[in-house]
Amino acid sequence: MGVCDAIEQYAPAGKPSAMNAPHLPKVAGIDSTVPPQDHTVAPVPQAQGAPALMIQDRLAGWISDLTTLQELTERLARTAALDEALHELLRAGAALVGARRGLLVLEPSDGLGPDTTVGLGLTRADLGHIETVPRAATAFGRLLDAPPAPPGAETGIVNADLLADSTLDPRHREVAARLGYAASYALPLSTEAGRIGAAVWLYDEPAEPGERQRHLVGLYARQAAEHLARLTELDRARTTEVTLREELLPSRLPRVAGVRLAARHRTSALGGGDWFDALPLPDAALGLAVGSVTGSGPSAVAAMGRLRASLRAYAVMEGEDPVAVLSDLELLLRLTEPARSATALFAYCEPALRKIVLAGAGHSPPLVIGERRTEFVETSLSAPLGMLACWEAPSVEFQTQPGETVLLYTDGLLHRTGDAMDRAFARLHSAAASVPKPVREDPDALVDHVLRAVLPDGLDSVASDEDVVLLAARFE
């Protein structure tokens, strides 16, 4: 709703009810202690030009209210995360109705979620107490379970004195006394598509918002509901993509004699195609793989799933020859997805001998971390899969010492640092070299140490555009 529409709809209908709560918080442009002029009684002329002054004052009040409403709506529109928007709505609504605390229940009527409850001035324990009240006895429960109201109908629920209400549920009375609130005002959050939640603001003493305040918070809630509906759809899409991605990656790492495994995966905000795998092979061997598919979003995730599944099949058939495995993978990628490229690294491990044979296609070299050395494995340079008419590069064979760990990773770990690649490699090497001896004995602790050292100060957050994968194998 624009400012002009809000001006058209906002027409004072008489003297508003005064707030009973003392010392109400003030909001810019809203002063509930100064009621508008009464329309039912003719004004007494006191001075020449008084009617014109009253009209000017009334127009100034309307403009001030709408300015406040616009500022609050713009502040809400700047929120990009659903949880952030829920808290902003609660804070703005509390200021508009003169309350100090409140809660918002997000429960879309289509049943697809997400369902959550957030509080303002309430701890998780306080919300837990409120949730013990029978749903039908709560204002938000009655709003969420009621049939949709006609457009423009008054649907807010006012309870100006909860403890004086003889019909109040006993459990509700007990919780209100325990948490110290005496009145409430509840408002539904609805769009044309349906109801998505309800907000309840709580007063410490018997009180209720005036008509002017209810009108303004109603305008704000209608705008806020549309914004929450959009963020809810985005949240659903992200949740679906993350779930799909996690299902396409190993749910747990295999147990293979002579080696201990650990992995970490950080998904980017856009959803990329980085992946890892570890699978037992014939003759007590182990296959380790990491890779990255170009692009982002659902198509990259799907391509990643297809590539990983294909590599597993090739590894079972000819895993002892990593070059053959990647050659088959390159041919498949070139025939089925000619517009896409990918990097990959596959290692064939014999834990009993601590021997590893690996081949890489445009991928960063592994890092060997031990008590006496921390060094990158020298691999041959090779183009990514799908970049050449025929891919083939020589494999590399090396052997680890007892207690050494081989760390495989994707380029996202380096890109997230924001450094040039040579400096990023140096940072990774420094992080690995600084791993304390007790930490080196546990691959889970080792990958966490490296991740924190390479990506400090929030660089390990989902807001990044780069996926991160680390796969560690410690040989006994």
Of 331-345, 387-401, 440-454, give the lowest mean pLDDT range: 387-401
18 pLDDT higher than 70: no
Helix, coil or strand: residue 131: helix
Query: DSSP E strands: which ranges in 394-444?
Result: 396-399, 405-409
Task: Report d(CA 122, CA 465) in Å as an integer.
Answer: 35
**What number is the average pLDDT over the span 172-183?**
96
Is 99 or 50 the better-scoring residue by pLDDT? Answer: 99
End-to-end CA distance of the chain: 67
Q: Identify the bridge partners of residue 261 per DSSP, sorted by sequence position.
A: 473
**What number is the average pLDDT over the span 189-195?**
91
CB contact at 8 A, 453 and 444: no
Query: DSSP E strands: which ranges in 208-352?
Result: 259-266, 273-281, 285-293, 342-350
pLDDT per position as a tens digit, 135-169 = 999 999 999 998 876 655 667 999 999 999 999 99
For residue 458, the model assigns a pLDDT of 64
Q: What is the DSSP letter of 336?
A: H
Q: What is the amino acid identity at position 229?
A: A
Helix or strand (DSSP H, E) at 82: helix 82-97
Residue 407 exposed, middle or buried by CB count within 10 Å (0-12, 13-18, 19+):
buried
Question: Which one of 54-58, 130-134, 231-235, 298-302 scores highest in mean pLDDT?
Answer: 130-134
Instruction: Give residue 390's pLDDT band: very low, low, confident or very high (50, 70, 90).
Output: low
Residue appearing with tokens 């409120």: 130
Instruction: Give residue 50's pLDDT band: very low, low, confident or very high (50, 70, 90).
Output: low
Q: What's the token pair of residue 249? A: 């990656």
**What number is the average pLDDT over the span 324-333?**
91
Helix or strand (DSSP H, E) at 185: strand 183-191
The torsion defined by the Cα of 202, 106, 170 and 203, in degrees rounded to 10, comes to: 0
35 pLDDT higher than 50: no
Task: Report d(CA 369, CA 428) in Å as an integer.
Answer: 11
For residue 49, the model assigns a pLDDT of 57
Q: Are strands 355-361 and 342-350 parallel, antiparallel or unpaired?
A: antiparallel
Report the percentage of the chain scoring pLDDT > 90: 62
Angle between helical axes of 211-248 and 50-77 (0-180°, round to 10): 10
Residue appearing with tokens 């991928």: 363
* Average pLDDT over all residues of the chain: 85
CB contact at 8 A, 183 and 173: no
For residue 312, the model assigns a pLDDT of 94
Task: Report d(CA 337, CA 329) in Å as an integer.
Answer: 11
Of 29-38, 249-258, 353-362, give the lowest mean pLDDT range: 29-38
Is 19 or 313 the better-scoring residue by pLDDT? Answer: 313
Is 20 or 349 the better-scoring residue by pLDDT? Answer: 349
Residue appearing with tokens 């058939």: 317
For residue 30, the model assigns a pLDDT of 43
pLDDT per position as a tens digit, 402-456 = 999 999 999 999 999 989 999 999 999 999 999 999 999 999 999 999 999 999 8
Q: What's the token pair of residue 423? A: 């400096």
Q: What's the token pair of residue 398? A: 């090396």
CB contact at 8 A, 219 and 69: yes
Report the percentage of the chain scoring pLDDT > 70: 84
Domains detected in the chain: 3-30+53-231 (3.30.450.40), 249-475 (3.60.40.10)
123 pLDDT higher than 90: yes
Taking phi over 0 as left and psi of -120 to 50 as alpha, with beta for the rest, 172 belongs to: alpha
365 pLDDT higher than 60: yes
Instruction: Give residue 321's pLDDT band: very low, low, confident or very high (50, 70, 90).
Output: very high
Helix, coil or strand: residue 167: coil
Q: What are the backbone dihedrals phi and psi of residue 349, each rounded to the nearest 5 degrees, phi first?
A: -115, 140
For residue 14, the model assigns a pLDDT of 40
pTM of the full structure: 0.59
Sign of CA dihedral 424, 426, 429, 434: negative
315 pLDDT higher than 90: yes
Angle at 289 between CA 285 and CA 293, to 5 degrees: 160
Of 249-253, 277-281, 321-325, 376-380, give the lowest mean pLDDT range: 249-253
pLDDT per position as a tens digit, 78-91 = 999 999 999 999 99
Is 337 or 196 the better-scoring residue by pLDDT? Answer: 196
For residue 26, the model assigns a pLDDT of 43
Helix or strand (DSSP H, E) at 318: helix 298-318
Of 50-59, 118-127, 130-139, give the lowest mean pLDDT range: 50-59
335 pLDDT higher than 90: no
Q: What is the amino acid identity at position 386?
A: G
Task: Report d(CA 3, CA 133) in Å as an integer.
Answer: 40
For residue 92, the model assigns a pLDDT of 96
Q: What is the DSSP letter of 43?
A: P
Is 262 or 236 the better-scoring residue by pLDDT? Answer: 262
Of 28-42, 284-298, 373-387, give the lowest mean pLDDT range: 28-42
Q: What's the token pair of residue 151? A: 């457009």
Instruction: Give residue 268's pLDDT band: very low, low, confident or very high (50, 70, 90).
Output: confident
Task: Report d(CA 53, CA 37) in Å as an integer.
Answer: 12
